[in-house]
Chain A
Amino acid sequence: MSELKNDSWQVLRSYTSARIALGRTGVSLPTAANLQFQLDHARARDAVHLAFNTQAFIDAYTATFPNAAKPVMLVSEAENRMRYLQRPDLGRRLPEAQWQILRQSASEHKNADIAIVIADGLSSAAVQNHALPLLTLLIPRLRAENLLLAPLSIATQARVALGDDIGEALKAKLVIVLIGERPGLSSPDSLGLYLSYAPRRGIRDAERNCISNIRIGGLSYQQACDTSMYLTLAALKDGVSGVTLKDQSLLLDNQPNHAIPFLKP
């Protein structure tokens, strides 16, 4: 007979994605739960360390938006992943030569309203999986508002603030960065969206707006698109981004249901 102890409260798993009721052998994790953890950790690690397949992304982007300008490839001052992980300051900076090229190309066209940056961040899996589906909703909405988009920037070894360098070089009014978030064990491919008005090097975190947790099982593409449109239009109208632009609806408790169905009154 197996010595494995199954937990009698397994039904509670339907209320949370936390790893509850795993059972035990002695005081330790059963093999199945242990292997599941190892697999999830491996996925999260690979999300950090596998390089962003930019060519595959560009091919898919071009197929979706055949008339869009050719995307621009950029790399931060962090030349490799090990350096990137230990020197966040380098991941925030665009090398001078790349900055000049962007500025040159910007000078040849009318100034863009919006620059969009696709950045690998800490999870290439997040941008690989979710950036294009989100752009597919977002770009037509931006165009419908008659906003002029700069050519898409694709940046690797990139932190959020790299978008400010890019937006500044492009003389864009506003920059939107889609970036892979720090991967969790249960969410290795979560995408973040950051928005800065009047982007320039050195702006503070409080001057940006963030939409987090865009993934299957998290915030949907449609919700992310709607919120980013709201923030974009408000930022352009008020000439500001960041904490002063807070969505007022977020100030309320978003979980009005206080009931705990499995707890008897």
Chain B
Amino acid sequence: MPFSVNLGQQHYVFADLKTLLAKATPARSGDVLAGVAASNNQERVAAQYALADLPLRHFLNNVVIPYEDDEVTRLIIDSHNATAFMPVAHLTVGGFRDWLLSDAATTESLQALAPGLTPEMVAAVSKLMRIQDLIIVAKKCEVITRFRNTLGLANHFSTRLQPNHPTDDAAGIAASIIDGLLYASGDAVIGINPASDNTQTVARLLHLLDDFITRFDIPTQSCVLTHVTTTLELINQRAPVDLVFQSIAGTEAANSSFGVTLSILAEAQSAALSLGRGTVGNNLMYFETGQGSALSANSHHGVDQQTLETRAYAVARAFSPLLVNTVVGFIGPEYLYNGKQIIRAGLEDHFCGKLLGLPMGCDICYTNHAEADQDDMDMLLTQFAAAGGNFIMGIPGADDIMLNYQTTSFHDALYIRRLLNLPPAPEFFQWLQTSKIMDKHGALFSGSELPPRFAQALSLAGPL
């Protein structure tokens, strides 16, 4: 069904829903690369006018990728909760924006609404929003998840400790873990991206993390971010798997290029649940996403990258994850060209994920061939935390020596904690206090000696 709108003397026609959504999207390089972006600024605003008038109900009967062709579309349509949708069922996309910003949209009403929203509705409304809209609405959402601690509580902020090493060297990884713990990082997860995908290496790293968590009695969870099928194999070998990681995307074809299907994810979730390793809850899936992944896999179906990203959240939602992380600037400037595009994408992803009921974190990051720098990361970090983001990455000095990109550092997390008074997950915060790493006000202890627990365990004799 075509959509048309008149702006002044100009008449604009948009052939179908996916074209309308793509043309209404704020500018980004990946949509230009895919050939779906608005051809000029006025066409973009014309599409936004037409989109604002579209009833939300339209999305229940019109899909961007055919139901028959795509299991993500089938998941979205088949799992839609019509009762939850009722409070906004009479609204247009523009009316929905007004409602979200109004005082009628509260933490409770947004939580109740989440199962009634489809990714395309959420992506559509985000395209009509400014940065401040994305922040103030997301801040109203609260998504709490649990495994060995409680993540996502209002006015808390968590970090994934990411101790990557280019050769998966045990001592190198352990050195970064100790650095991170002493900087109060790691309540979301201690998660390694392994350089190698081989099963023996992954098993070795899982044991390394499990030994650390057990030895120091840390109320957190571990993860080695390898392919879900490798994790499944290791669960069957009774390796100590806390969380199941997988990169996911918003189309069946893109997921297939990652070697995953909904049924593989379900199998892995069920296997990990059978280990019974959670202590305060059973959210144990960890998903990563990022705008541009479907185009990168040649599986975008002519849909814009932000809508596809939001469809990936429908996949995530089906598995009650502990953590969902949009890796916003990793994929490169052909998808998000500069700091401005990265910042907006990060806040869109957070907003869309939160509205759909997901525990959203953000890998606030950039590569050296993007037009971005630390100032851009500081802006996104500050805005993401103001929007109530659940977690960020923590890495020594912002430099990932394995993946060759820059993400947020242990220091960055301390900055945001102090600026906005955001402590970590309560169980972890308690551990930091009993371990004499942090005081009850969230300040790091500043003595020149190691905290006693670490002084006992570490042998630091050697040349400085």
Contact = CB atoms under 8 A, between A and B. Distances in A.
Interface of A: 5-22, 24, 26-29, 33, 37-38, 40-41, 44-45, 47-48, 85-89, 122, 181-188, 190, 213, 218, 250-255, 257-264
A47 B204 CA distance: 36
B406 interface: yes
B337 to A, nearest CB: 6
B39 interface: no
Contact of B337 (A14, A86, A218, A264): A86
A22 B461 CA distance: 19
9 contacts: A14-B463, A16-B171, A18-B401, A27-B414, A186-B401, A188-B368, A218-B166, A250-B198, A255-B169
Contacts, number: 190
* Interface of chain A: mostly helix, strand, loop or mixed: loop
B401 A17 contact: yes
B178 A9 contact: yes
B175 A15 contact: yes
Contacts of B450: 8-9
A186 B174 contact: no
B171 A15 contact: yes
Given A22-B397, A188-B368, A263-B174, 4 more contacts: A18-B172, A20-B175, A252-B200, A261-B459
B175 A185 contact: no
Nearest to B366: A41
B404 A182 contact: yes
Interface string B352-376: 0000000000000001110001100
Contacts of B400: 184
Interface string B376-419: 00000000000000000001111111001110010100110110
A250 B197 CA distance: 10
A18 B406 CA distance: 12
A138 B340 CA distance: 44
Contacts of A14: 462-463
B280 interface: no
A6 B198 CA distance: 38
Contacts of B163: 18
Contacts of B367: 182
B171 A8 contact: no
Contacts of B104: none
B68 to A, nearest CB: 27
Contacts of B18: none
B458 interface: yes
A183 B370 CA distance: 11
Contact of A185 (B167, B174, B182, B406): B406
B1 interface: no
Nearest to B417: A27
Contacts of B45: none
Contacts of B29: 86
Contacts of A11: 460-464
B112 interface: no
Interface in B127-166: 163-166
Contacts of B173: 16
A27 to B, nearest CB: 4
A183 B404 contact: yes
B435 to A, nearest CB: 14
B32 A86 contact: yes
A5 B415 contact: no
